[in-house]
Amino acid sequence: NAGVTQTPKFRVLKTGQSMTLLCAQDMNHEYMYWYRQDPGMGLRLIHYSVGEGTTAKGEVPDGYNVSRLKKQNFLLGLESAAPSQTSVYFCASSGPSRVTEAFFGQGTRLTVV
Amino acid sequence: GENVEQHPSTLSVQEGDSAVIKCTYSDSASNYFPWYKQELGKRPQLIIDIRSNVGEKKDQRIAVTLNKTAKHFSLHITETQPEDSAVYFCAASSGGSNYKLTFGKGTLLTVNP
């Protein structure tokens, strides 16, 4: 039982490049989330999903897109990376009810130069 | 939307002392309040949570209290140990149709031997 797995763990992008971060969970959770963590800013919600085929905007969605085609996967895309998107990205999942523990992936450290 | 304020941002204590971290929330519909611990370079992990129908919960050296009227909740760590040194995040969520988990900005706790 791997829990929540993020791919890749590290990445360096040039400004304007695109990339996709993959989050996979094997706990059959309904709810999945993408957060970014910056020094002194805590964990800020980018986008989230309440079930397969659904997505919703969080606190800081601009510059990101997401998809949840399969229940176990939640993809975060950056279409045109900017230096302001340099951050550590965490995926999390929770379920089956709405108010239960969220399990986090190990994080992806992204640097945009 | 929900807003979670967390204080203090840094806290330094001597080993064996107690530590208290406080959070306030804005959405009266919030009904689930977890606390996460994040060690350096690691993922956040749940240490304790409380639901709105309970005023206090304790787990060994860790306790959480909730005041729904004042919309604030606190984490109490007694008999602190060096391994308690980490960043602690409070969070709040509601069970409404637009479920999401909003985090505070975090508290860096340092326990000095």
What is the pLDDT averaged over residues A68-96? 95
Give the minimum alpha-carbon distance from A90 to chain B in angstroms, rounded to a whole number.
Answer: 8
- Asked whether the predicted pLDDT for residue A69 surpasses 60, the reply is yes
What is the pLDDT averaged over residues B39-58? 92
Give the minimum alpha-carbon distance from A77 to chain B in angstroms, rounded to a whole number.
Answer: 20
- Asked whether the predicted pLDDT for residue A98 surpasses 70, the reply is no
- Asked whether the predicted pLDDT for residue B99 surpasses 70, the reply is no
For chain A, the C-alpha Rg in angstroms (whole number) is: 13
Is the CB of B106 less than 8 angstroms away from the CB of A90? no
- Asked whether the predicted pLDDT for residue A73 surpasses 70, the reply is yes
Q: Does A39 touch chain B (CB under 8 A)?
A: no
CA A32/CA A92 separation, integer angstroms = 6
What are the start-end ranges of the E strands in A39-97?
A: 42-49, 56-57, 65-67, 73-78, 87-94
- Asked whether the predicted pLDDT for residue A28 surpasses 90, the reply is yes
Contact between B101 and B3 under an 8 Å Cβ cutoff? The reply is: no
Residues of A in contact with B51 (CB under 8 A): 99
Confidence of residue B96 (pLDDT cuts 50, 70, 90): low
Confidence of residue B98 (pLDDT cuts 50, 70, 90): low
Residues 1-30 of A with CB under 8 A from B: none
Question: Residue B112's CB: how many other CB atoms inside 10 A?
Answer: 11
Q: What is the DSSP letter of B69?
A: T
pLDDT at B53: 82
pLDDT at B54: 82
* Smallest CA–CA distance from B4 into chain A, residue: A42
